[in-house]
Structures are given as C-alpha cells and as structure tokens.
Amino acid sequence: MGGNSLFSRAVQFNSALQFEALPRPPVWIMRQAGRYLTEYNEVKAKHSFLEICRTPELAVQVSLQPIHYLNVDAAIIFSDILIPVVALGIEVDFNPGPIIKNPIRTGADLASLKRIGEVTTQTAFLPKAISSLKNELRSLPGDPKALLGFAGAPWTMACYIIEQKPFKHFERTQIVAREERAQLHRLLELLTSITEEYLLAQVEAGADAIQLFDTWAGNLSLADYREFALPYTQRIFATLEKRGVPTILYINGCTPLLPGMIESGAKVLSLDWRIDLEQALRLIPSEIAVQGNLDPTLLYGTPESVKQQTELMLRAVNKRPGYIANLGHGILQTTPRENALSFVKTVQAGWP
C-alpha cells in the first residue's frame, strides 16, 4: 500500500493489535487539488470541471499539483462524488456546484429508476487516471506517497439526486424518506451497488485506500442515520474489507453520529471541526484510526497563527498512534496557499 508510505503505516493495525508509533502523523488535505492553487485555476481557465474529471491526463495533472507544492503524504484522485450516477441515467452538470438535470421528484420517479449500464464502463476514465497517477507518484523522489480513491456515500448522493442542487438542509430528501420509505431504500440499494463496483475498480487501478464522503448525513438524527445511511455504508466497507483496503469515513456534522460511525466498519474516522478532538479520541476504540479535524477557516490567519492552531490540534491528539492530520472539511477556495503550506509543514515538523 503506497510502498512503505507514512500514510500506510498510520492506518495499518499490526499483528500485535496496535498501530505503529510514528515520529509524526501523515498529513493531507481534503480538496487539496483545487481553486486555492494558482496552478489549478490556470487549468480550469481552459477546461470545464467535468472535462478535467473525465480526461485522465488533466485529472492526473491537477492531482499532482498539491503534491508538488505542499509535499503532502497522500494524493487523492481529482474527481467528484456524483460521477458514478451516470449508471442510473442521472445527468449532472456543474455551475459551479453540482446540478442534477433530471432530478427525482416523485415516488413514481424513484420507482422508475434502474441501472442503464455498467458503471465501470461509463467511468473507465477514472481507473485510467488512477493507474497513471500511481506511476507518477512512484517516480517521485523522497518518501513514498499513498494514493487515495473516493466516492460519495449513498445517502449523500441521494440528497443531490432528489434535491437537484446543493441545499443547506436537504429537507426534501428527508420528507421523501418519510413518504416514500420503500422507494428511497430501493434508490439507496442501487447507489450502493454502483458505488461498490466503482470503488473496486479504483482499488484494482492502484488506489491504496478509499475515503467515503457522507457529507450530508450530518442532517440526520442518529436513529435516521442508522436506517438510511449506516447499512449501506457498512455494506460498502465490508466489500472493501475483503480486499484488505483501508477505508475512511467522513461526515460533516458528525458529533451526534459518532456512535454510528464507529459501527460503520471504517478503519479511519475523519472528524469535522465541530467535534472536540480530545473527547472524540476518548470515545473511538483504539483499533480505529482518526483523521482531522482543524477548522478550515483557521487557515485564513497568518502562517504563524496557522502553525499555532495546528500545534494545538496535535497536542490534543497526544501522540495517539493511528492518527492522520487533516482539516475538518475541504480546504476553502479562497484560502491563502502559503497558509496551507504552513499547516502541512507544521505537521511534518513532528509532534509538538
């Protein structure tokens, strides 16, 4: 997995049933390839978002940009969580966020949904990009880098499909959950099936670990999470577990859902910035690794203030083995790039 990368050593439980104690935690940043980087904006000025996602050469180019600038310990393939819904005949555009051209509005719409083809055939560009990116990472000097693949969790993808575009609460999806429970579960089953195939293709292409983004599960109560999200997440992780692939679960607004996240089967829990890190670490079993959780807005200070805040986060971890430094959400597009670099360099300087 990523050679003997620091990331792989941080997430692997050894035969003595413990994580390896490391001189520092590995570090990467969610959305690390994106609009805060000048290099990305230069590419984006010439190509649409979907064109970048669907063109392996462009996806590799932008995936490598934060590796070259930040020297993070893991690359994540540049893509979007809604890419695989093409297998259900769902048409997606970005303006700039995701827009569903043919949203699901009624129970009849839900009932009519079916697979229209193999997701691996319709998204063959992604494994090609992962394979090429893997080769590029292997050729880099210095410590080996891990390569992460990812997908959206079924609940979060359902939110977009039903609501048409991002909303703050996705209340329509939750109304559908009450009024069309059986049909919504059918949609979630379909999304789970294509996600399993989509992620296995990423693993076969060379992804060392997989992160599942259930961004909008934080809108659910714990009881609803256990009905509409958790079983499908568990199924996906169980499929990947058979392949020995480390898995990461991220939920935005995870505090009330932490018990469910622990039950998910994820090898790593990625925590958002709202949860108290020390308290979370007391609750999360020692055999589960932890990722996160610096508030992304703290990167709007000075490089020195970013260093101070990052050191506070690392002190809260108290050198816990099985820890990966990251933000509590994706890096914001107007973040000063030098502050992202300060965050990474502070982690790479070692435990405070």
Compute the distance between CA of residue 72 and CA of residue 168 in angstroms, rounded to an integer.
31
Q: Find, among 239, 129, 119, the residue nearest to 191 by Cα.
A: 119
pLDDT at position 235 = 98
CB atoms within 10 A of CB 281: 16
- 3-class DSSP state for residue 349? coil
**211-223 pLDDT, tens per residue?**
999 999 999 999 9
Compute the distance between CA of residue 272 and CA of residue 344 in angstroms, rounded to an integer.
18
CATH of the domain at 299: 3.20.20.210
Please report, in tens digits, the pLDDT of each residue of the chain (352 residues total): 556 899 999 998 875 568 999 999 999 999 999 999 999 999 999 999 999 999 999 999 999 999 999 999 999 999 999 999 999 999 998 877 788 888 887 778 888 888 998 999 999 999 999 999 999 999 999 999 999 999 999 999 999 998 765 556 667 777 777 878 888 999 999 999 999 999 999 999 999 999 999 999 999 999 999 999 999 999 999 999 999 999 999 999 999 999 999 999 999 999 999 999 999 999 999 999 999 999 999 999 999 999 999 999 999 999 999 999 999 999 999 999 999 999 999 999 999 9
pLDDT at position 165 = 58
pLDDT at position 227 = 96
Residue 213 lies in a domain: yes
- Conformational region of residue 253, where left means phi above 0, alpha means psi within -120 to 50, and beta covers everything else: left
Q: Find, among 117, 152, 124, 4, the residue nearest to 59 by Cα.
A: 124
Residue 1 lies in a domain: no
When divided into structural domains, the chain yields a total of: 1
Q: Find, among 352, 349, 290, the residue nearest to 325 by Cα.
A: 290
Dihedral (CA of 226, 228, 231, 235) sign: negative
Residue 130 lies in a domain: yes
Q: Range of 307's domain?
A: 6-348
Burial of 157 (0-12, 13-18, 19+ CB in 10 A): buried
